Amino acid sequence: MKRRDFVTGLGGAAALAGCAGESEQAGTETVSQQRFRWDLVTTWPPNFPGLGTGVNTLARYIDELSNGRLQITVYGAGELVPAFEVFDAVSQGSAEMGHGASYYWRGKTEAAQFFCTIPFGMNAHEVNGWLYYGGGLELWREVYEPFGLVPIPAGNTGVQTGGWFNKRIDSMQDLRGLRIRIPGIGAEALNRVGATPVSIPGSEVFTALQTGAIDAAEWVGPYNDVAMGLHQAARYYYYPGWHEPGPALECIVNREAWDQLPDDLKAIVRVACQAASLDMISEFMARNAGALRQLEEDPSVEVLSFPPDVLAGLKAATLEVVEELAAADPVVARVWNSYTAFLEESETWQRISEQAFLQTRV
Ligand code: CA
C-alpha cells in the first residue's frame, strides 16, 4: 500500500531562488515549497453523486488553493480499502486522509456518532453552530485523539428522508421483524421497537433491497436515492428522516501526516473543507427538490409521512438508547451534555425563526 510520499520539487527550489532578494528582506517568511501527495479513502461508492463527487471537489479545492503543493488522490469504497475500514486505514497511516460519516465508527467509540447526527436532534444549521461555535469540534478532536486522527467537518446532506419500504408502516406493530438497512443510533432505536436493523455500505443497498434480503433501507434523500435506483426496488417512500436530521460528514486526517504540513497547507485543508461543505449542502438542496418531483410523478412510488405515533415511539426509543450510552461512558456523557445544552437553546430560537417562517409558506 502506498505510503506518505514527500516530494521536494525542483520547480519549488527554482521559485525560491527567483525571489531570493525579497525573502532575505522578509526574514523567514518564505512559503515552504515542499510538496505532498496524499491518498484519500472514502466510505462512498466511487464518484457517487453528491457524496463521492463532493470529495472530488474537496481534493480539487485543496490542489488549486495550494497551487499543487498538496495533491490528493481520491479512492471510492473498495478501491483501496472497503468502506468500513476507512477509519482504521487513516488511523494506521496507510492512507493520509479519509471521508465518511462518524456514525460508522461507533464500534471504535460510541461517542463518534454524536458528531454526525442524532435522531430527532440538530439539523444542518444547528450542527454547524454547535461544531464551530458551541464547543462541538473541540470535543470531536478530543474523542478522535487516541486514534491518531484529526477530524474536520466536511459536508452535510441536510435532513434526509425516512427511507424505502416494501410494505406500508401504519403503526409501531408494522416495524416488528422489519429487516432494515440503517446506521447509527437510529438503528439501535429500531432494534428496541422490534425491527432488525442491518449495517451495510451504500454500494450494497440496492441489491439487498431488490432481492428481498432486506425489507427496507434508508440511504440519503431523493437525489441520491434515485441515483442508486432505490425507487425501482421498493414502493413506499417515507418521510421525514427522523434518524438523520442533518448529518455532518467528516474528513479525517492521520495525525502524523497532519503534523508534517506547514501551517498554510493546514489552513488550506480546513478552509477547503468548509467550502466543500457549503458546496455539498447547496447541491443537495437544489437536486433533492428536482428528484422529489420526479418521484411524485412516478406511478410506482408512493411518498408517505410516518404516522405521528410511530415517530413518537421512535423518539422515545432514541432517548432511551442515548441515555443508556451516556450512563455507560463518561466521554459520551460529556458529548451528550454539550449536545443537548446547545439543542435546548437552539430549539427556542428555531421555534420563532425557521420553524415559524416555514409555517408561513404552508
Ligand atoms: Ca442516511
Q: 215 in a domain, yes or no?
A: no
Distance 360 CA to ligand 1 centre (A): 29
Interval between CA 169 and ligand 1 midpoint (Å): 19
For 178-222, give the DSSP string. Answer: -EEE--HHHHHHHHHTT-EEE---GGGHHHHHHTTSSSEE--S-H
Q: What would the DSSP string read from start to end of 54-106?
A: HHHHHHHHHHHHTTTSEEEEEE-TTTSS-GGGHHHHHHHTSSSEEEE-GGGGT
Q: Output the domain CATH number for residue 260.
A: 3.40.190.170
What is the extent of the structural domain holding 107? 34-156+246-285
Residue with cell 447541491: 283
Residue 106 CB-density burial (10 A; 0-12 exposed, 13-18 middle, 19+ buried)? buried
- Distance from the alpha carbon of residue 341 to the mean position of ligand 1, in angstroms: 25
C-alpha cell of residue 274: 468548509
What is residue 9's predicted lDDT score, i.e. its pLDDT? 40
Give, as residue ranges, everything with CB less than 5 Å from ion ligand 1.
160, 244
- Ligand 1 center–CA 182 separation, angstroms: 7
Q: Give the distance from CA 141 to its chain's centroid.
A: 16
Distance 160 CA to ligand 1 centre (A): 6
Ligand 1 centroid to residue 250 C-alpha, Å: 14
The x, y and z cell numbers of residue 227, run together, are: 441515483
Distance 322 CA to ligand 1 centre (A): 19
Q: How far apart are CA 331 and CA 113, in angstroms?
A: 12
Residue 341 within a domain: no
E strands, the chain, in order? 5-8, 34-42, 70-75, 97-100, 149-156, 163-165, 179-181, 196-198, 216-217, 236-239, 248-254, 302-305
d(CA 222, ligand 1 centre) in Å: 11
Look at residue 216 and tell me if it is in a domain.
no
What are the strands of the beta sheet with 179-181, ordered from one edge? 196-198, 179-181, 216-217, 163-165, 236-239, 302-305
Helix (H, G, I), strand (E, B) or coil at 223: helix
Model pTM?
0.88
Distance 51 CA to ligand 1 centre (A): 11
Q: How far is the CA of 50 from the centre of ligand 1 (A)?
A: 13
Residue 237 φ then ψ, to 5°:
-115, 110
The pLDDT score that the predictor gives to residue 14 is 40
Distance (Å, rounded) from C-alpha 238 to C-alpha 303?
A: 6
Cα–ligand 1 centroid distance for 4 (angstroms): 32
pLDDT of residue 203: 86
In a domain? residue 77: yes
Question: Tens digit of pLDDT per residue, the chain (362 long)?
Answer: 444 444 444 344 444 443 444 444 444 556 788 999 999 999 999 999 999 999 999 999 999 999 999 999 999 999 999 999 999 999 999 999 999 999 999 999 999 999 999 999 999 999 999 999 999 999 999 999 999 999 999 999 999 999 999 999 999 999 999 999 998 899 999 999 999 999 888 889 999 999 999 999 999 999 999 999 999 999 999 999 999 999 999 999 999 999 999 999 999 999 999 999 999 999 999 999 999 999 999 999 999 999 999 999 999 999 999 999 999 999 999 999 999 999 999 999 999 999 999 999 98
Q: Which three cell numbers stand for residue 271?
A: 478552509
Contacts of 75 (CB under 8 A, 6+ apart): 39, 40, 41, 42, 46, 81, 95
Asked, for residue 195, whether it belongs to a domain, the answer is no
Give the count of domains, the chain. Answer: 1
pLDDT given at position 15: 41
User: How many angstroms separate the alpha carbon of residue 186 from the centre of ligand 1?
Assistant: 10
SS3 of 27, please?
coil
Which residues does 352 contact at the CB level (< 8 Å), separation at least 6? none
Residue at 358: amino acid letter: L
pLDDT score for 114: 97
Please check whether residue 220 lies inside any domain of the structure: no
Q: Establish if 39 belongs to a structural domain.
A: yes
Residue 324 to residue 316: CA distance in whole angstroms:
13
- Please report how many Cα atoms fall inside a 13 Å half-sphere around the Cα of residue 289, on the Cβ side: 5
- Residue 172 domain-assigned (yes or no): no
C-alpha 132 to ligand 1 mean position (Å): 23
Burial class (CB in 10 A: 0-12, 13-18, 19+), 334: middle
Contacts of 48 (CB under 8 A, 6+ apart): 76, 202, 224, 227
What is the whole-number distance in angstroms between the Cα of residue 77 and the centre of ligand 1?
16
